[in-house]
Amino acid sequence: MQFDYEKNPQSIESKSFEIIRALVNLGQFNREQQQIVMRVIHSLGLPQLAEQIRFSAQACESGLHALAHDCPILCDVEMVRQGITKRMITQQPMCFLNHADTVERAKLSGETRTMAALESWRDQLAGSVVIIGNAPTALFRLLEMLAAGADKPALIIGMPVGFVGAAESKSALWEHHTSLGIECITLLGREGGSAVAAATCNALLRCLRGEYY
């Protein structure tokens, strides 16, 4: 059995972004934002998501500067951590979800492990890039921590997915990012997930390397 299909990875990627540009009006976005929007659409196969993406005023600039200086990359789940393109970074992304102290803390408090894991983020938050692609509870907890005076990350990529709390947590991030003094990129609504959150960070890393489509 044989099929006629494109096998060259560069050709596949290039053609994919040609199609996205033909389907979506990207004129409202700057150069770096366009790269992120296309990666988000590419990750989920949904051109209409361009209408749901939100960038704070200096989100890309702040994220690029932090990543260029090897900032900590904090991930809510292992799927996000594994999705970061390792050839583009020198410092491994961190996820504390499965650490023994996180598991114990969650049992004692009766909260989700993704919430409990954020306690281990405190010493790493300042100037970091935070990527939340799975757990709305983690995003809500992070906002609570920041409101209580925790150190501010350089960028929050908040794109949890689901039917309970996902849309609400992203709306809260977008509504309060200015008052909290934080930069963020988010995808409003129920859509999101580990792949699209990691793809957003990867898009910034590609921009640092001069890889634009």
Domain boundaries, the chain: 9-208
Q: What pLDDT is recorded for position 62?
A: 98
Burial pattern 85-106, b for ≥16 Cβ within 10 A else e, equals: eeeebeeebebbbeeeebeebb
Query: How many angstroms separate the CA atoms of 172 and 158, rounded?
Result: 10
Q: What pLDDT is recorded for position 206?
A: 96
The structure tokens listed for 144 are 């609570």
Under-70 pLDDT residues of the chain: none
9-208 has which CATH code? 3.40.50.10230
Q: What pLDDT is recorded for position 166?
A: 96
Q: Helical H runs in the chain?
A: 9-23, 31-44, 59-68, 78-83, 100-109, 113-117, 136-147, 166-180, 194-208
Given 42, 69, 99, 177, the catalytic residue:
42
Give the up-direction half-sphere exposure of residue 11: CA atoms within 13 A in the CB hemisphere. 4
Q: What pLDDT is recorded for position 50?
A: 95
For residue 111, count other CB atoms closer than 10 A to its CB.
13
149-204 pLDDT per residue, tens: 999 999 999 999 999 999 999 999 999 999 999 999 999 999 999 999 999 999 99
For residue 185, the 8-state DSSP code is E
Active site residue 177: no
Q: What pLDDT is recorded for position 103?
A: 86
Query: How many angstroms separate the CA atoms of 125 and 101, rounded?
Result: 18
Q: Which helix (H) or strand (E) holds 131?
A: strand 129-132
Query: How many angstroms separate the CA atoms of 145 and 163, rounded?
Result: 24
Query: Scanning the structure block, which residue is given the tokens 């983690």?
Result: 138
Q: What pLDDT is recorded for position 154?
A: 98
The structure tokens listed for 152 are 């501010």
